[in-house]
Amino acid sequence: MKRKVLVTLNLTKDCLDRLAGECEIDVNAHDRPMDRNVFLERIAGKDGLLPSITDKVDAEAMERAPSLKMIANFGVGFNNIDVTAATARGIPVSNTPGVLTDATADVAFALILAVNRRVVEGDRMVREGRFLFWAPFHFLGSEVSGKVLGIVGMGRIGQAVARRARGFDMPILYSGRTRLAPADEAALGASFRPFPDLLAEADIVSLHVPLTPETHHLIDREALGRMKPSAVLINTARGPVVDEKALVAAIRAGTIAGAGLDVYEDEPCLAPGLVELENVVLLPHVGSGTWETRTKMADMAVTNLLAGLRGERPPNLVNPEVWK
């Protein structure tokens, strides 16, 4: 009998065909997240789950599907899944690392340039007919080349941002849980700093840590207070890494100069006052949002799901302890 699988997001035809070859599939074909109650109803009786990062896959969801054998997340970040609850039930969980590294680093760099050179604000000015003259000291931004970049979380995406920054002659500082090997630091031209020192020295602070209990509100009022008044914050990691209300207050007060955000604390809702700030650039969580990358992510998630359902080790297992 074919395994029953719930796919909570729309995938490419190729991917759906691959799944349908081995499984009975229930797909949310709409380009909208599944409502929680519908998700809980439709996960019942399933053997496999391919969720979106917007689906909360918690113990309640797992209890609805006692035969669940594999959860293959569509995304590298898996904070939407209670991995501890899955591991306790012996359910392998996988993610999609690597294939989205460059796309996400590109968006981080797009935000760095957009905030510092006022790209979006300038676009609004031109469209609204407010571009009336050129003058040498009018509508100035802040130079990016040569500025100190502080990378928080020097993993795959953090390193890809560092490689881009080298082309802009930016001194690169990084902080994180693990220090890179000296040869890797030298190859990236990056110097390690304790987190508080990085905040104080960087002109641009770019976040690339996963969302975990340890990184929740890593950037809070105190951290913002350590940054230079001329510095900007870039977040392409996960919204709750930043205390968004504290960020709005810090930008209003001039504690920091601006921010570029791809992710939000309570997506898709924004903290009160955020949209009124001219010196922030806001994107709708599109770090991995290129056709090429999303296609690769879909393919990878399907490969992981099928492997787990066949009883083979999924290539991108995040809880290897279930495989002992």
d(CA 63, CA 42): 13
Tell whether residue 170 is a contact of ligand NAP (CB under 6 A): no
Q: Is 208 in the site for ligand NAP (CB under 6 A)?
A: yes
User: Cα–Cα distance between 143 and 260 in angstroms, integer?
Assistant: 16
Residue of 18, 193, 238, 294 with catalytic role? 238
Stretch that binds ligand NAP, among 24-32, 111-119, 139-147, 172-180 (CB under 6 A): 172-180
Q: Is 310 in the site for ligand NAP (CB under 6 A)?
A: no
Q: How far apart are CA 324 and CA 302, in angstroms?
A: 23
Selecting among 216, 217, 267, 313, the annotated active-site residue is 267
138 is catalytic: no
Structure token digits, residue 175: 């902080």
- Residue 288 interacting with ligand NAP (CB under 6 A): yes
Stretch binding ligand NAP (CB under 6 A), from 28-36, 37-45, 142-150, 151-159: 151-159
State the minimum distance, in angstroms, from the CB of residue 23 to ligand NAP.
Answer: 27
CB 229 within 8 A of CB 203: no
**With binding defined as CB under 6 A, does residue 193 bind ligand NAP?**
no
317 part of the interface to ligand NAP, by CB under 6 A: no
**Contact range with ligand NAP by CB under 6 A, out of 59-67, 231-239, 294-302, 316-324:** 231-239
Out of 34, 76, 83, 99, the residue judged to bind ligand NAP by CB under 6 A: 76
Q: Does 176 bind ligand NAP (CB under 6 A)?
A: yes
Residue 127 makes CB contacts below 8 A (sequence gap 6+) with: none
Does 24 participate in catalysis according to the annotation? no
Rule CB under 6 A: is residue 52 a binding residue for ligand NAP? no
CB of 134: closest distance to ligand NAP in angstroms? 36
| Whole-number Å distance between alpha carbons of 35 and 8 | 10
In the structure encoding, which two tokens stand for residue 225, read together?
Answer: 């207070």
Is 156 one of the binding residues for ligand NAP (CB under 6 A)?
Answer: yes
The nearer residue to ligand NAP, 176 or 314, going by C-beta atoms, is 176
Nearest-angstrom CA–CA distance, 168 and 181: 23
**156 catalytically annotated:** no
Among 240, 287, 308, 314, interactor with ligand NAP by CB under 6 A: 287
| 177 binds ligand NAP, rule: CB under 6 A | yes
Binding interface with ligand NAP (CB under 6 A): 76-77, 97, 100-101, 104, 153-158, 176-178, 208-212, 214-215, 236-238, 262-263, 285, 287-288
Q: Which residues are catalytic?
A: 238, 267, 285
